[in-house]
Chains A and B, each alone.
Chain A
Amino acid sequence: MANRVGMEVSVAIGEVVKLANADVIAAYPITPQTHIVEHLAELVANGELDAEFIPVESEHSAMSACLGSAAAGARTFTATAGQGLELMHEVLYIASSMRLPIVMTVANRALSAPLSVWGDHSDAMAVRDTGWIQMFTENGQEVIDNILCAFRIAEDKKVLLPVMVHLDGFHVSHMIEPMLLPELAEVDRFLPPNQYPLPLNPTKPVTMGDFAPPVIYSEAKWAQEVSLRGAREVIDRCWQEFGDSFGRHYSAVEGYHNDAKVLLLTMGSFSETAMTAIDRMRDEGGDVGLVKLRLWRPFPFAEIRKAVKGAEVLIVLDRALSFGGLGPVLSEIRAALYQMEKRPKVVGFVGGLGGRDISVAGFEEIVKRGIEIAHQGSPQEFETFGIRE
């Protein structure tokens, strides 16, 4: 039986990484991820978790140490946020290209300048194309459940790719929430030991991270793309089996009254506020619903098309700007729906930047304005929410 606990989500992350029996944690502290690695450092220091904790001098080094650790076949965990994720950037590509099953939680944080330690999705969007499996979570329970799933997916022999579990900085990372923390025996049943097939081993030498001239680079990259797409099957099966074992169900795209004519699309913790707003609007007779995008990479094209197929208006909220372009989620959704014969009008908003809240009333306003734009158009490619004129 699971233990019902009330604790800070960051601390619960440390506890679940302990339950997963990670071998190596290499991390550098950065707000709002700090409590995660502090708690893990404590668990290792007082002997509760038998792991190597490598206190590195930067996030670039953190991810580099994770490469070595995962290459040696160790179960490897790290966490970062905002600027830290950016400092890791080039190494992120190497982790996925070398097919190293590293699990990382990102306590999503805005990017400087001006300096902001608060949450939005700018950091996640900046690493969109790094080849990692990426999923978004709404609350503490979803985070810890998906960390267990992340280890299992990453280390699956058919996948062997790193996984990022995104949680909103402060909005989730620093909340004290009631959560069900599984028992060790349950985790052991769900999560098989990590068996990296070609680890660094002096008795059977291999070369990792070698170079590829033009004659072979394209084939190497395509093999990587095929592996990321192919991971979908394993991800879905993992969520299915997690649901069977623990009774909590996850999928790439999750609908909430998504048979409605007007749909909102959100990612991360704002989905919870949006659900409350949807409830209120439905109570007043509104035909509105919500689509929550959990799996960001590999992008669930077919499920998105299916989730919105009956809708007339789809309002997409981005918590990041793609300077000079559309919101990253908006452009992806538009592209996904383009080939549908009958598709909803897709309206985009950017809001909730740098820790700015969007309240229930705020989501109601977004939906109202979204419907207006869908019918009358807008002078802009997308609109912002809550920015003072």
Chain B
Amino acid sequence: MTKPEGELTWRDIEIGSIVTEPGNARQYKTGDWRSQKPTYDFNRCIKCAICQIFCPEGCVNQNDDGYFEADLYYCKGCGICAKECPTGVITMVEEKE
């Protein structure tokens, strides 16, 4: 995006609010919506990727050790991963920030 949304005037908006820059939804910090965040006890993780498949935000990635972990820039804190994890790796905790 050329400017952050908050700095755009009505003159800067394309006709019909068309977005001409593909993929700029990536900049949208949906992590702001979160009131809880997933925490992990990777000792129990079997790397089955169920959390990744079920995450509606598509924000679960494999880290360097091969464990599956939420990208907190996007994670909305819905808790689905915690609910679906078969071995109880994930615990949702109150977001303090």
* Interface status of A220 (Cβ within 8 A of chain B): yes
B6 A219 Cβ-Cβ under 8 A: no
Residues 1-27 of B, flagged 1 when their CB comes within 8 A of A and 0 if not, give: 000011011111111111110100000
A207 B16 Cβ-Cβ under 8 A: no
A216 B5 Cβ-Cβ under 8 A: yes
Question: Chain B contacts of A99 at CB under 8 A?
Answer: 15-16
- Report the contact-size class of chain B (Cβ under 8 Å from the partner): 10 to 19
CA distance A227 to B14 in the complex (A): 12
B2 to chain A: closest CB distance in Å?
A: 13
> Do A213 and B5 contact each other (CB < 8 Å), given the known contacts A220-B10, A222-B10, A223-B10?
yes
A174 to chain B: closest CB distance in Å?
A: 36
CA distance A223 to B5 in the complex (A): 15
Among B6, B9, B10, B17, find the residue whose CB has the most chain A CB atoms closer than 10 A: B17
> Do A215 and B18 contact each other (CB < 8 Å), given the known contacts A220-B13, A223-B11, A223-B13?
no
A205 B22 Cβ-Cβ under 8 A: yes
Q: Which of B9, B10, B22 contacts A207 (CB 8 A)?
A: B22
Question: Chain B contacts of A212 at CB under 8 A?
Answer: 17
> Do A198 and B17 contact each other (CB < 8 Å), given the known contacts A215-B5, A216-B5, A223-B11?
no
A198 B10 Cβ-Cβ under 8 A: no
Number of A-B contacts (CB under 8 A): 52
- Report the contact-size class of chain A (Cβ under 8 Å from the partner): 20 to 34
CA distance A206 to B50 in the complex (A): 33
> Do A98 and B8 contact each other (CB < 8 Å), given the known contacts A205-B22, A207-B22?
no
B17 A97 Cβ-Cβ under 8 A: yes
Residues 190-212 of A, flagged 1 when their CB comes within 8 A of B and 0 if not, give: 00000001100000011110101
CA distance A213 to B29 in the complex (A): 12
Closest residue on chain A to residue B13 by CB atoms: A223
B16 A160 Cβ-Cβ under 8 A: yes
Q: Which of B8, B11, B15, B20 contacts A216 (CB 8 A)?
A: B8
A63 to chain B: closest CB distance in Å?
A: 15
B15 A198 Cβ-Cβ under 8 A: yes
Residues 48-79 of B, flagged 1 when their CB comes within 8 A of A and 0 if not, give: 00000000000000000000000000000000
In the complex, 17 of the A-B residue pairs with CB atoms within 8 angstroms, ordered by the A residue number, are A97-B16, A98-B16, A99-B15, A99-B16, A100-B16, A160-B16, A198-B15, A198-B18, A205-B22, A206-B19, A206-B22, A210-B17, A210-B19, A219-B13, A220-B13, A223-B13, A223-B17
